[in-house]
């Protein structure tokens, strides 16, 4: 499994996203610079990591979405290749039009860094293939702009198509305002495109890939992406 981890100025989870799937799932990972015109040869999956690309100026991910490599990422996605955006990577995918909606400031206007629980809603995406609907994962968040927002028509379409892949929940899988850390509409923690090969999520599987970190549930996601890449 060969994955390209795209590095933007201000990325700070690129090494995490290179190391975590390599150590926990046996991937081969390589960094791809944002000014590159093409993805590395042999790329089977793409990860857009967390961080503060371009200092989060304008809107989070807005400048990174115009980086030269994003044209190559779009071509890769159009061919069915799995693309995973984590935190800032999710924001970049929304700003580039690869995913619908946007990420607003957290409900309480404060940066949040904590362990959270997310429930698997759909198993048809590259990040959830092989998982079970309803199962709960423990994966941390670290963001100031993670409040997912879209108009009601878009939200209804996401629900109908099974594009909501993760929701914030409590340890038993129940949804509430208390278990929704940032105020995301419908407790959404992650979504996919209609094909299911492009996914964005605010929680960090790269920070939950070894039990010594408190959870290894992130490995389930790397394994799902690898399964999807094998089918692409």
The overall average pLDDT reported for the chain is: 97
Positive/negative CA dihedral, 192, 112, 51, 18: negative
How many separate domains does the chain show? Answer: 1
The Cα 37–Cα 67 span in angstroms is 9
Name which of 97, 99, 65, 118 is nearest 192 in CA terms.
99
pLDDT tens digits for range 84-110: 999 999 999 999 999 999 999 999 999
Report field, pTM of the whole predicted structure over 0.95: yes
CATH number of the domain to which 169 belongs:
3.40.50.880
pLDDT tens digits for range 156-198: 999 999 999 999 999 999 999 999 999 999 999 999 999 999 9
Q: Which domain holds residue 154?
A: 2-231
Structure tokens of 184?
Answer: 């995301």
Half-sphere exposure for 85 (CA within 13 Å, toward CB): 34
């Amino acid at each position: 499994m060969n994955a390209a981890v795209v590095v933007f100025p201000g990325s700070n989870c690129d090494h995490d996203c290179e190391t975590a799937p390599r150590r926990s799932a046996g991937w081969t990972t390589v960094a791809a610079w944002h000014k590159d015109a093409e993805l590395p040869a042999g790329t089977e999956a793409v990860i857009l990591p967390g961080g503060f690309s371009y200092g989060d100026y304008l809107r989070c991910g807005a400048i990174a979405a115009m980086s030269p490599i994003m044209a190559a990422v779009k071509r890769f996605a159009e061919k069915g290749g799995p693309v995973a955006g984590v935190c800032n990577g999710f924001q970049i995918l929304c700003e580039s039009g690869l995913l619908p909606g946007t990420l607003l400031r957290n409900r309480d206007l404060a940066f949040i860094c904590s362990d959270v629980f997310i429930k698997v809603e759909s198993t048809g995406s590259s990040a959830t293939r092989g998982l079970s609907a309803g199962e709960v994962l423990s994966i941390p968040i670290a963001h100031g702009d993670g409040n997912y927002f879209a108009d009601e028509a878009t939200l209804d379409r996401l629900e109908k198509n099974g594009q909501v892949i993760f929701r914030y929940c409590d340890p038993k899988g129940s949804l509430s305002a208390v278990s929704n850390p940032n105020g995301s509409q419908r407790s959404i923690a992650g979504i996919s495109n209609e094909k299911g090969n492009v996914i964005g999520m605010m929680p960090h599987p790269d920070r939950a890939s070894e039990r010594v970190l408190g959870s290894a549930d992130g490995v389930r996601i790397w394994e799902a992406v690898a399964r999807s890449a094998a089918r692409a």
